[in-house]
Structure 1
Amino acid sequence: MLLTIILLTIIICLLLTYVLILLNRYQYFKQRNIPTPPYRFFFGHLKTLWNAQLKSKQLQEWTKIYGKIYSLFEGSTPVYVVSDVNLLQEIFIKQISNFNARKLTLTPIPPTSPHASLLITGGNTWKRQRQVTNPTFTTTKLKQMSALIKDCVDAFMSKLPRHCDSGEEFNIYALYKRMTMDVIFRCAFAVDTDMQTDTENIYLKRANNYFSPEYNRLPILKLRFLIAEIDSFLCAMLDKINLVKRKLKSLISSIHDDDRSRLYSRIEDVIKMRSDKAKQRVDLLQLLLDAQKIR
């Protein structure tokens, strides 16, 4: 009985301490006179963002109300929202040495995983990946890709007259999305997907499902947002799960061949095809393959 009372007392003290810590965090922007929309304790602004049809639209609405520099809370984590071009240039260009860290994207792949991409990882791993990909976006390289981009834009423009002549409303976002995917696959992987004509294209289907908004609503990702203190533990747990999945890849693929594994499989086929070719074109994929050889 005494032990139970002691344990309950400890738990209550810990909860009260955590609540006080959260209350103190929520004073962060108030102490700095930075405007912030109304928020909920523990959730911050996450519930509003999760329920929004488009996160970008919600941020735009807040920008109209609170200006080009305001604040949000992801759970209890303070976040600045900046749309002032001059300040962004100051941060990302002029003072890049002082602001070289990046906000990590929460995904089922931990940032410490060897399979983490540029959008997920951080620190020295992010820096190396960024150095490898930077040459792809030089003026010279982009000019070499301009013909590929122009072909995709021309295909996009050829689709518009049919929609305009009908006089009916249509969702131009779907056309933009297929054009963008064509550009990415042609410039990054040297693969002519022609998604603008082939709406049943396998790459397009898998990518649509992979980047579905529901993907970002996974409970474990929400938990990482809400309780930043357990992020390291969840990352370690996810890393172990992914390790088991990789070891049982063939078995898992046959039992649960989901869109993510199918998309990865398709990309692996492209990488293998490019690796086997003697003559290669200069693009993002080739830079990554070359970097892997000298690693």
Structure 2
Amino acid sequence: MLLFLLQIKYFLFQMALIILTSIFIAILTFSLCIIYRRQEIFKIRSKIGLKGPETHWFWGNLKLVIKRIAANGYNDSPTWHQELHREYGETFGLYFGTEFDIIISNEEDIKEVFIKNFSNFSDRLTPQIFEMNNLNSSLLQNTYATGWKSTRTAIAPIFAAGKIKAMHETVSSKIDTFLKILKEKSKNSEEKFDIYEDFQRLSLDIIGKCAFAIDSNCQRDETDVFYVQARKFVSSVDIRKSWILIASFMLPELSWIWKALYRFTDLAAAEIPLINGLSDIYERRLAGEGYDSVDLLKLLLDRGMSKKEVTENCFAFLIAGYETSSTAMVYGAYLLAKYPDVQRKLYEEIKKMKTSDLSYESIHQMKYLDAFYKETLRYYPPVIHFNAKVCKSDITIRNQFYPKGCVVKAQPYTIHRLSSNWERPEEFDPNRFLFSEESSSKLRWIPFGIGPRYCIGMRFAEMEFKTTMVKLVEKFELGIREGEDRDLIPECVGVILRPKGPVRLELKLR
């Protein structure tokens, strides 16, 4: 009996040893494969004749990004990209982990890649972990193969000029609420408030009404579910706050693990209440509520889209429109405060144009307002890392080879500040859009993207920005508060270029 037990123990020991050895060999083989794969990927840049910063054997160039963030205390990737452009030229390569990015800034290259060869660069880059979110059926993430074109065709009518004009009165009423809140806050000269948060609540309130026909109280209620969760979702798309985002870029070979863990992330935690809220609105509208409303949700319902398609596209519009619009508007307000001459010229144009009420037509006839709008988005493009397209197959364009699987990017912040594109690019000057031909090229001004996948809500965002700025300047004289830094520092959070700190302005009733 004792001998039998010893034999069993010996057998179990041998089995454990075999299992542990097998696991060790598997891990070692897997690690060697990863290292070999990286070595081969990191050779591609030099093979195709491109330059770029030195790559770490495991991190690629991501380690440089992390080191800069640690040194600066924030993500200054737009400034870094400018430095790289000056050092390596108009086309260079970067490795975000094993993702190989080719950065282009030449106007002809941009035209060839994003427009003329759109069929080979039709899909946006979507990190594998994001395949687990509720945006895969939306215009933000769906691919040409999964129905991007049909989705865009279905959504496009809501952004036709006539529909946007019909929404102007609604937008204007929401801005009036915004101005009342600012008036209340401005009465207390000692109160220092971040006007960026007020712009965020305004843009979310506008989206709620124009996209879903719901009257939100988010401008006055900071606990509003859509407002709280939208802020959480956007702030979570940041490598500084999510280890799993870095892990998914560094070890795409383990994507199945990262996908399984997505449900436990802050992104998922913020996403679920938003999707549940939109699902509830969908059911109410399907039952007949708001049947006479003209909005995005009704348009999608009338098109016969599935519940998944409707809720995901509404979610995309909520997230994309909320953050980009509010960021553009806070930059506009800040620039008006910093440059009194610009503010004075705009105010004079408003007084000259106004007869009784500033209508949709009159606002779009204001030339200086239009120049100010374009120069604001040139100087501070709110979205900076979204012009990224995956190369579907090997292709050579203007003597440059683009390998299958690479990601081609055009960075608006860099392109908007190239001296080859703009005179005095570091100066803020709306007059360049009034008196100069330098702004005539659409591929030098790309805050809304390039080619067929440009931002579908561009006209709506323009109307929202212009109406808000006009009503704000008509009501208040804006200035930089005493003791506040006059130089705003932009930082990159995900794909958004937003103010690094709070934006505290002085508001004087006119």
TM above 0.5, yes or no, is: yes
* Stretch of structure 1 that moved more, 59-68 or 216-225: 216-225
TM-score, normalization: structure 1?
A: 0.71
SS at match of 1:200: coil
Corresponding pairs, count: 278
Question: Once the 2 structures are TM-superposed, how far is the Cα of residue 221 of structure 1 from its aligned partner?
Answer: 4.0
Q: Using the alignment, how far apart are the partners of 1:110 and 1:45 within structure 2?
A: 26
- Shift of the alpha carbon at 1:33? 4.5
Partner of 2:501: none
Match of 1:62 in 2: 80
The structure whose RCO (Cα within 8 Å, separation 6+) is larger is 2
Shift of 1:36: 3.0
**1:141/1:260 Cα in 2 relative to 1: closer, same or farther (>3 Å)?**
same
SS at match of 2:95: strand
Query: Structure 1 residues 64, 157: CA separation in 2 closer, same or farther (over 3 Å shift)?
Result: farther
Deviation at 1:293, TM superposition (A): 5.3
Q: Quote the offset at 1:65 in angstroms.
A: 0.3
Find the counterpart in structure 2 of residue 255 from structure 1.
none
**Contact persistence 1:188–1:285 (CA under 8 A):** yes
Aligned residue number for residue 45 of structure 2 = 29
Q: In the alignment, residue 65 of structure 1 is paired with which amino acid? A: E
* 1:35 and 1:70 in contact (8 A); partners too: yes
Offset at 1:22? 0.8
Q: Name structure 1 gaps, 5 residues minimum.
A: 246-257
Q: 1:192 and 2:192 equivalent?
A: no
- Offset at 1:189? 0.9
CA contact (8 A) 1:77 1:228 kept: no
Q: Which residue of 2 aligns with 1:183?
A: 206
TM-score, with structure 2 as normaliser: 0.45
- Specify which of 145, 154, 159 is matched with residue 124 of structure 1: 145
- The answer to whether structure 1 residue 267 and structure 2 residue 278 are counterparts is yes
How far apart, CA to CA, are the structure 2 residues paired with 1:77 and 1:89? Answer: 23
Distance 2:219 2:276 in 1: 22
Aligned partners of 1:71 and 1:12: how far apart in 2? 30
Q: Is the 8 A contact 1:49 1:55 kept in 2?
A: no
Q: Deviations over 1:104-157 (max 9, x none)?
A: 14446537x897544344343241433322333333333332333333344444
Q: Distance in 2 between matches of 1:146 and 1:84?
A: 37
Q: 1:172 maps to what in 2?
A: 195
- Give the root-mean-square deviation of aligned CA atoms: 4.2
Counterparts of 1:275-294 in structure 2, within 5 Å, are 275-277=286-288, 279-292=291-304
Gaps of 5+ in 2: 1-13, 310-510
Q: Structure 1 vs Structure 2: percent identity of aligned residues?
A: 24
Q: Distance in 2 between matches of 1:200 and 1:236?
A: 30
- Is the contact made by 1:179 and 1:196 (CA closer than 8 Å) also made in structure 2? yes
Contact 1:207 1:263 in 2 (8 A): yes
**Greater C-alpha radius of gyration:** 2
Alpha-carbon contact 1:91-1:99 (below 8 Å) kept: yes
For residues 160-204 of structure 1, the C-alpha deviation after alignment (integer angstroms, 9 at most, x for no partner) is 554497377643322222122122212211112142233232321
Higher fraction of strand: 2
The aligned amino acid for 2:248 is R
266 and 237 in structure 1: CA distance in 2 versus 1, 3 angstrom threshold? closer
Q: Is the 8 A contact 1:182 1:196 kept in 2?
A: yes
The amino acid that maps onto 1:122 is T
Matched residue type, 1:292: G
* Paired residues of 1:118 and 1:126 also in contact (CA < 8 A): no
